[in-house]
Amino acid sequence: MPRGQRATASDDDWRRVRRHATDEEARALASALRMRILRVCLHESHTNKEIAEVLGRDPATTLHHVRRLVDTGFLVAEPVRRGVRGSREIPYRATGKSWRLEGGPAKDRVLIDAFLEEVALVPVQDVETARLGLQMTEEVKEEFNERLMALLEEFRVRADAAHTGPAWSIFYSIHPDPNYPSTATRPAAEER
């Protein structure tokens, strides 16, 4: 992509629109609560009061986190609107910026903690999961990960274009299997 040209949601190659998070961006995303705020504001705008209600938190606490997300470009404040009693309300919407960053909370427990907090709120019969153990070389693992990320990006773009249907949350993880420590420490050249 030429320097200065902005990546768009229609770009086919998800790698072209991703970049490393700055230290400030990484710190802003280093909170399970902030990750949940981004999820709450992903598909529709919400005021700080609404965000606090959804998350079961005090509005003063969420406002601090909302401001941090706005300051770093992960949330955008939409035009002020009048509330039910004529009060001034500012709705916030997620920008999707966190999806386009590498080196953010994915390297920490933040995404796992946010996932666990969210999944605990869902009836167990509504949670679909899959778990698979594989032995593969580093090259095959990289190919698997790239193809999976490309698939996720393809569906993100399609969903952004459609703006219809119920909201779903997807969590994906790949890691060395701790039940087989020899696999985690064995060099790729020795793998079969």
Look at residues 68, 98, 121 and tell me which one is the last residue of a structural domain: 121
DSSP per position, the chain: --TTPPP-TT-S-GGGG-EEPPHHHHHHT--HHHHHHHHHTSSS-EEHHHHHHHHT--HHHHHHHHHHHHHTTSEEEPPPEE-TTS-EE-EEEE-SGGGGEESSGGGSSHHHHHHHHHHTTS-GGG-----------HHHHHHHHHHHHHHHHHHHHHHHHH--S------------TT-HHHHHS-GGG--
Q: What is the model's pLDDT at position 13?
A: 55
Within this chain, do residues 62 and 135 fall inside the same structural domain, yes or no? no
Within this chain, do residues 51 and 114 fall inside the same structural domain, yes or no? yes
Q: What is the model's pLDDT at position 16?
A: 61
Give the residue among 73, 31, 35 at the shortest CA–CA distance from 51: 35
Q: pLDDT digit string (tens) for 148-168?
A: 989 999 998 898 888 788 888
Q: What is the model's pLDDT at position 186?
A: 43
Look at residues 121, 146, 175 and tell me which one is the last residue of a structural domain: 121
In-domain check, residue 97: yes
In-domain check, residue 78: yes
Q: How many CB atoms lie within 10 A of CB 45?
A: 18
Low-confidence ranges of the chain (pLDDT < 70): 1-17, 103-107, 173-192
Within this chain, do residues 109 and 59 fall inside the same structural domain, yes or no? yes
Within this chain, do residues 105 and 183 fall inside the same structural domain, yes or no? no
CATH number at residue 62: 1.10.10.10
Report the number of distinct structural domains present in the chain: 2
- The pTM of the full predicted model, rounded to 2 decimals, is 0.72
Q: What is the model's pLDDT at position 163?
A: 78
Q: What is the model's pLDDT at position 175?
A: 65
CA angle 62, 103, 92 (to 5 degrees): 30
In-domain check, residue 1: no
Within this chain, do residues 66 and 146 fall inside the same structural domain, yes or no? no
Within this chain, do residues 95 and 149 fall inside the same structural domain, yes or no? no
Instruction: Tell me the residue range of the domain where 180 lies.
Output: 131-192
Q: What is the model's pLDDT at position 90?
A: 96
Look at residues 121, 148, 164 and tell me which one is the last residue of a structural domain: 121
Within this chain, do residues 38 and 63 fall inside the same structural domain, yes or no? yes
Give the residue among 184, 73, 82, 60 at the shortest CA–CA distance from 133: 184
